[in-house]
A and B are shown apart, each in its own frame.
Chain A
Amino acid sequence: MSKTDAHIKWRIAKSGAAKTIIIILAFACVIPLLAIFFYIIKEGITKINWHFIVNLPKPVGETGGGIANALVGSLLIVLCASVIAIPLGILCGIYLSENRSTKLAYYSRLAVDIMQGVPSIVVGIIIYFWLVKPALPFTGKPLGFSALSGSAALAIMMMPIIIRSTEETLKLLPDSLREAGLALGLPYHKVVMRILLPCGISGVLSGVILSVARVAGETAPLLFTAFGNPYMNTNILKPMQSLPLLIFNYATSPYDDWHDLAWGASLILLLWVLILNISTKLITRKWRVQL
């Protein structure tokens, strides 16, 4: 009797121990996150001020200087990428959710899966050979390193995220919604744009914002496309600096002044990405698809 008792106690103790270990392991992941956050905030907060935001980087040896060019560049590049990727992504998501079992939908879905897995550095190479190097059909000369080609690279990375979230959200909507619209005589495009899309706006929008947050921090595809630029530039056909590129270039440089700039830029980039992520949370909470 006491032997089985002991055995049961041993099993219960084992169960409790396993639970403790799992909880410890699960929450161990909080440590690196907090460590990164606190370190970036500690290093970055002292560097950020008005001067930092509106000025250009100074050459080595001069203290001060800011990252205005990278801020403007990042905004422009991501904006252009959004202009390319959002309409295409949403429309493709609509196609995939509306045509679930066609052959094209199958291959398109496979293509989107593949596109999502393509390493970001490979996207950079691809755009280099599509836009940067060859002579383009209309202008007859290569685009060269430019913000626009950087945006194209980022757009390729954004589309799968937008397509996936649009498809998943629209799939949740009941068929009766679509049928009611069609029964009233609405043309198909109005059913989609005026009924389905507004009903699923929370999922679509959070996918869009998530994709922006994801590419805002991408460096690898910009290395061979937007290239970086130490000066202020707002012409999207010229090379342009962006926050992640600036962080990479200055962080790997041997100068302390440049490290300071990179810390400040890291904090701004981190805040930017955080705010975007939090806003997707708020959006999904506010406009949840209700069934």
Chain B
Amino acid sequence: MDNNQSNIYPQNVFAGKYLNKSLTVKAAKTAKHSNKQIRVEKVFKQALVLIALSMVIIVLSIFFTLVVQSLPSIKALGWKFLGGKTWDPVNNVFGAYPFLIGTLITSFLALVISVPFSFAIAIFLGEYYPKGWLSELLKNVIELIAAIPSVIYGFWGVFVLVPIVRDLETKFGILPYGIGIFTASLILAVMIVPYAASLGREVVRMVPSALKEGAYSLGATRFEVIKNVVVPYAKSGLFAGILLSLGRALGETMAVTMVIGNSPLIPDSIFAPGHTMASVIANEFTEAADTVYLSSLIEMGLLLFLVTVVINVIGKRIIKRFTNE
């Protein structure tokens, strides 16, 4: 208090004369300061709105850029683009059918391989051992699987997985490529396990214990509780986990590019080399000189974008509905 006063009142005998002036200066200063604060506050709020708006604008412009850039190929090729079975840039024949098939087969095969594992993890972490060092360890392992860069998966796949698959193929009497759709699916399966697993764990944990206890009190074994109570209750959430994994698998580029064999032909078996939409773009984008060639690659990007957007939005919707219930 004393300090304050000595600041406000000048230390001279004619205090009365200067008092008013110094107070008004002080008041003016405070007013100026708070005016400035109010201005900053306004600018801050506007900046927040602007940035939130810019996210919407970015996504919309991504969509429009893709549409505009793929117009030449949409105009020139139309629906033939999706149904066309040959991809021959040298003769200007662009059919994306082999890549659509390649993408679908690799992604679904990867899902089929990975789902048992990710559901097992979800049930293990959500139901059997929600706490303890063992579950902590497994949780960290899952996070690490998600953290490894895809180019490292691809590199490892080329030098470790491909020889193993090749040996297997010779054993079963299939043409031993090594590289191919099956190898790509194996790598993808490892990469997408964490997405379905961590989401699955959350939803399995959210199953109300009253339901489970009710089932136990009726004499159900643990497996029966899981089969008849936990999984049915959590099924929409588990499904959302699969969707998110699928979205991830469809767009994955580098690891797939490195092991799929990059062949533009329609694969005749799951062991044959193939191409996915993402791997075609990665391989040929910088080499595409012709307008239609380039824009047909972009049209594939547009397709990829739309599919992953739909899958992700549906998945997020399901999760939201599940967590609100």
Give the segment of B15-23, B92-100, B142-150, B232-240 that binds chain A.
B142-150
A-facing mask of B111-143, CB < 8 A → 1, else 0? 000001100110111001000000000101111
Which of the four size classes fits the interface of chain B? 35 or more
Cα distance A108–B224 in the bound complex, in angstroms: 43
Q: Within residues 241 to 258 of chain B, which ones have a CB less than 8 A from any CB in chain A?
A: 247, 250-254, 258
Q: Is A195 an interface residue (CB 8 A)?
A: no
Cα distance A174–B252 in the bound complex, in angstroms: 39
Residue numbers in B under 8 Å from A187 (CB-CB): 37-38, 40-41
Q: Is A117 an interface residue (CB 8 A)?
A: yes
Q: Within residues 10 to 64 of chain A, which ones have a CB less than 8 A from any CB in chain B?
A: 11-12, 14-15, 18-19, 21-30, 32-33, 35-36, 39-40
Q: How far is the CB of B298 from chain A (nearest CB, A)?
A: 6
Residue numbers in A under 8 Å from B140 (CB-CB): 281
Q: Is A236 an interface residue (CB 8 A)?
A: no
- A112-B55 in contact (CB<8A): yes
Task: State the interface size on chain A (CB cutoff 8 A).
Answer: 85
- A121-B150 in contact (CB<8A): no
Q: Is A3 an interface residue (CB 8 A)?
A: no
- B37-A273 in contact (CB<8A): no
- B124-A98 in contact (CB<8A): no
What are the 8 tightest A-B residue pairs by CB atom distance, in nearest-first order?
Answer: A217-B149, A119-B251, A117-B312, A25-B120, A15-B223, A15-B221, A189-B44, A26-B124
Q: How far is the CB of B254 from chain A (nearest CB, A)?
A: 5
Residue in chain B with minimal CB distance to A119: B251
- A122-B44 in contact (CB<8A): no
- B59-A115 in contact (CB<8A): yes
User: A28-B117, A35-B160, A122-B305 known; A95 and B52 CB under 8 Å?
Assistant: yes
B-facing mask of A214-247, CB < 8 A → 1, else 0? 1011111001100000000000000000001001
Residue numbers in A under 8 Å from B308 (CB-CB): 117-119
A-B contact pairs, 23 of them (CB 8 A): A22-B120, A25-B121, A29-B193, A96-B52, A115-B59, A118-B62, A119-B304, A122-B66, A122-B301, A124-B285, A125-B285, A188-B45, A217-B148, A219-B151, A219-B254, A220-B150, A220-B253, A223-B286, A251-B154, A252-B158, A252-B258, A266-B155, A269-B152
Q: How far is the CB of A111 from chain B (nearest CB, A)?
A: 4
Q: Is A79 an interface residue (CB 8 A)?
A: no
Residue numbers in B under 8 Å from A126 (CB-CB): 62, 65-66
- B281-A121 in contact (CB<8A): yes
- A14-B154 in contact (CB<8A): no
Q: Is A129 an interface residue (CB 8 A)?
A: yes
Q: Is A270 an interface residue (CB 8 A)?
A: yes
- B149-A26 in contact (CB<8A): no
Q: Is B82 an interface residue (CB 8 A)?
A: no
Cα distance A27–B149 in the bound complex, in angstroms: 21
Residue numbers in B under 8 Å from A19 (CB-CB): 128, 222-223
Q: Is B13 an interface residue (CB 8 A)?
A: no
Q: Is A205 an interface residue (CB 8 A)?
A: no
Residue numbers in B under 8 Å from A159 (CB-CB): 55
A-facing mask of B34-46, CB < 8 A → 1, else 0? 0001101100110
Residue numbers in B under 8 Å from A189 (CB-CB): 40-41, 44-45
Residue numbers in B under 8 Å from A277 (CB-CB): 143-144, 147
Please tell me which one of the listed residues B38, B58, B278, B313 contacts residue A119 in the complex, with CB atoms under 8 A apart. B278
Residue in chain B with minimal CB distance to A270: B152
Cα distance A28–B312 in the bound complex, in angstroms: 28
Q: How far is the CB of B85 from chain A (nearest CB, A)?
A: 23
